[in-house]
Amino acid sequence: MKNKIIYVLLFIWPAMFSVATGQIHEIDRNRYSSEMGRLEASLEPGEKVSIMSVSSLSGKLYIFAGDDDKVVFEYKRLIKCNDESTAREYDDLVEGEMQKTPAELRLFLRAPNPAPWGSTDNSVMIEGELRLPPDCQLEIDAEYYDLVVEGPFTSLQNRATLGKMDISRITRSLIISGGSRDVNLTDITGEISVTLNNADINAQNLVTMDESARIKNEHGHITIEDIIGSFSIRSSYGKIRINGADLNGGGSRIIGSHCPIRVEVTGSDNSGLSISNVYDDVELSILDTIPVRFSLDVEGEGEMHITDLPVKPVIVRSNMLECHTGEGNVAIDIDVEESGNIFIEGTQTDR
């Protein structure tokens, strides 16, 4: 009987420890790191990928396009707590998982919610790299993560984020909403919808397609370098700066409140632009070969100045001016309410 009991205990002992997640390394005082985990799958280019994390986890994800059908996710857990035994306890509660369904590939970042580190100074973060086939469609629900996304990917949707985002090479649709951390966009084409609060939006090389880019910000700046197409931009208590706007595909508009606006127009296919602002100035520079019909309005002590453009006045009043250059095919309306001025300057060549 003794031999049988000993045999059973020896059999159970290794099985009990096989569930451990791996070694924990102390990387600094009260900071620990797990070993690197790895998940793999196969996926055809253009398929949908959903990334989901519980709100008790935060971190940083680097998502980039490879050149084959492989999906590889490599990640580690960074743990802040007072001792190694607590770090091991937390590490055992966190895992990554991939599931393939007929509709999409799902990547889950799991932990208890609420977690034992919640409402304390402790935390668990995920840092990971996700390699995907090109032209995937991305849908992300990971509220407290910083994201670096480098395509080409067909679309990216992230409707509730508090993390910083650096996104490049989206070819068809980009939909983002959130706040608190800056968003940087590069080489985005197609449908563009960005809504942010208390952070800055910086964009380069935007090309809209069948509908206007929609960009809205509150208590943050909007800066765009080179945009082709039409757009609807709104901001309050920040700054709007647009350099290199080529107006195409329909009318564009900019709406500001307590928000200095400066726009450079370098081209138009006879598409117009409407700008309205409250309590601040509007500055417009425009290529002098574009045939423009201006309609300008200010209130109170506001002033209007036009330089380096051969304009022909049509209606001149103390607070209103209508004039045009050339045939006046491009309608540009600027309206400043309460207080603020309008400054328009002609430029002779493209940048």
- Which is more confidently placed, 83 or 350? 83
Give the three-state DSSP class for 300. Answer: coil
Radius of gyration over alpha carbons of the chain, in Å?
A: 27
Question: pLDDT per residue over 93-151, tens digit each?
Answer: 999 999 999 999 999 999 998 999 999 999 999 999 999 999 999 999 999 999 999 99
Paired tokens of 239:
């700054």
Question: pLDDT per residue over 39-95, tens digit each?
Answer: 999 998 889 999 999 999 999 999 999 999 999 999 999 999 999 999 999 999 999
User: So what's the pLDDT on residue 21?
Assistant: 47
- Separation between Cα atoms, residue 208 and residue 34, nearest integer Å: 43
The H or E element that residue 4 is part of is helix 2-17
- Per-residue HEC secondary structure of 100-160 comes to ECCCEEEEEEECCCCCCCCCCCCEEEEEEEEEECCCCEEEEECCCEEEEEEEEEEEEEEEE
35: DSSP letter: P
Q: Is the model's pLDDT at 1 over the cut of 50? A: no
The backbone torsions φ and ψ at residue 163, rounded to the nearest 5 degrees and listed phi first, read: -100, 165
**Percent of the chain clearing pLDDT 70 (strictly above):** 93
In sequence order, the 6+-apart residues with CB closer than 8 A to the CB of 169 are 65, 150, 151, 152, 153, 186, 187, 188
Average pLDDT of the chain to the nearest whole number: 91
174 HSE (CA, 13 A, CB side): 32
In this structure, are residues 39 and 72 in contact, taking their beta carbons and an 8 Å threshold? yes
- Separation between Cα atoms, residue 229 and residue 69, nearest integer Å: 34
Mean pLDDT of 307-328: 92
- pLDDT category at 208 given cuts 50, 70, 90 is very high
Q: Is the model's pLDDT at 18 over the cut of 50? A: no
Q: Is the model's pLDDT at 17 over the cut of 50? A: no
User: So what's the pLDDT on residue 16?
Assistant: 25
Question: pLDDT per residue over 143-175, tens digit each?
Answer: 999 999 999 999 999 988 899 999 999 999 999
With 0-12 CB in 10 A as exposed, 13-18 as middle and 19+ as buried, what is 259?
buried
- Separation between Cα atoms, residue 256 and residue 321, nearest integer Å: 21
Paired tokens of 169:
């090479």
Mean pLDDT of 202-218: 93
Specify which residues 253 forms β-bridges with: 232, 274
In this structure, are residues 124 and 108 in contact, taking their beta carbons and an 8 Å threshold? no
With 0-12 CB in 10 A as exposed, 13-18 as middle and 19+ as buried, what is 198?
middle
